[in-house]
Amino acid sequence: MKTILLSALLLATSAWAYKVTGVLAGKQEVLIKSKSQGEITQIEKKEGTKVLAGDTLATIDDEQEQIEWKQAAEELKSAKGDYLKTKALKKYVSQEELIKKRDIYLKKKSIYELKGYNLKNTKITSPIAGVISKKFIKMGETVSNGAKTFEVINSENLIIEIDVLAEKSKNLKIGRFLSFSSDLHPKKSFKAKITFVAPTIDKASGTTRLKLELKNNVVHGRYELKPGTLVNVHLKTDRLPASSASSK
């Protein structure tokens, strides 16, 4: 009798609710890797610190890079002056000599730009605004090119990616809002908007990937939701499972 009543209720609403587990993540999350190698001589930001895009987080020993950059600047200055003087006297010098001076100048300019790039890379900077969630380096530590240094997350905008069985995702269109809940906020329901529905179905699992986005609320000066939190996304479908539509 209970099964019959449940089935009748579901048929009356023409919807079957179920949930899918997902994980909150920052829409912008970046793992910052070293673009140079050497000893960490300064750490300017610690975990939990808010940063802006372009902020310097740490510095790698740049003594050698400073020397090479200054030397390249002097050589460029000299080569440029030599070329301009030769160009001003082009009536009295051969075209071959002028081209030679120009090529030397352009070569020195390329070397100067490369040395400047190497010097710039001794500064570990954040490409996004957010909060430092992890720090992987210590003062005095020697890092290699490509080593992990910091992780920065922007918690202002969050995303949830979920895999939904293909037959249950027919009505899940871009722009639709879905509710979700978390054990960290058991008495509250949140909403997120579908911004992506995969055009394909995973052959192994028979699921379709969906992406949802939401703006994180600020409560008492802090973001209400934290990236990494497990959430239950509540869905509805017009198709009923065979077990609930039958009576016993």
Name which residue leads in pLDDT, 16 or 225: 225
Answer whether residue 144 shows pLDDT above 90.
yes
Q: What percent of the chain has pLDDT over 70?
A: 88
Average pLDDT of the chain, as a whole number? 88
Q: Which whole number is the average pLDDT over 160-175? A: 90
Answer whether residue 75 shows pLDDT above 50.
yes
Answer whether residue 241 shows pLDDT above 50.
no
Answer whether residue 246 shows pLDDT above 60.
no
pLDDT single digits (tens) 5-25: 333 333 334 445 688 999 999
Domain annotation covers residue 54:
no
Q: Give me the residue label for tokens 């070293």.
A: 34
Answer whether residue 2 shows pLDDT above 70.
no
Residue 78: pLDDT band (50, 70, 90) is very high
* 122, 62 contact by CB (below 8 A): yes
> CA of 99: how far to CAs of 73, 77, 82, 88, 110, in Å?
21, 18, 12, 13, 16
- The pTM score is 0.74
**Containing domain of residue 226, as a range?**
15-28+154-237
pLDDT at 6: 35
Query: In this structure, is the dihedral angle defined by the CA atoms of residues 170, 175, 176 and 181, taken in order, positive or negative?
Result: positive
* Residue 196 CB partners (closer than 8 Å, separation 6+): 174, 209, 210, 211
Domain annotation covers residue 134:
no
pLDDT at 17: 67
- Beta-carbon count within 10 A of 235 CB: 22
Q: Among 76, 106, 121, identify where a domain stops.
A: 121
CA atoms within 13 A on the CB side of 114: 8
DSSP-H helix ranges across 121-233: none
Domain annotation covers residue 68:
yes
* 10, 18 contact by CB (below 8 A): no
Domain annotation covers residue 34:
no
Give dist(CA 231, CA 210) in Å, integer.
Answer: 14
Output the domain CATH number for residue 217: 2.40.30.170
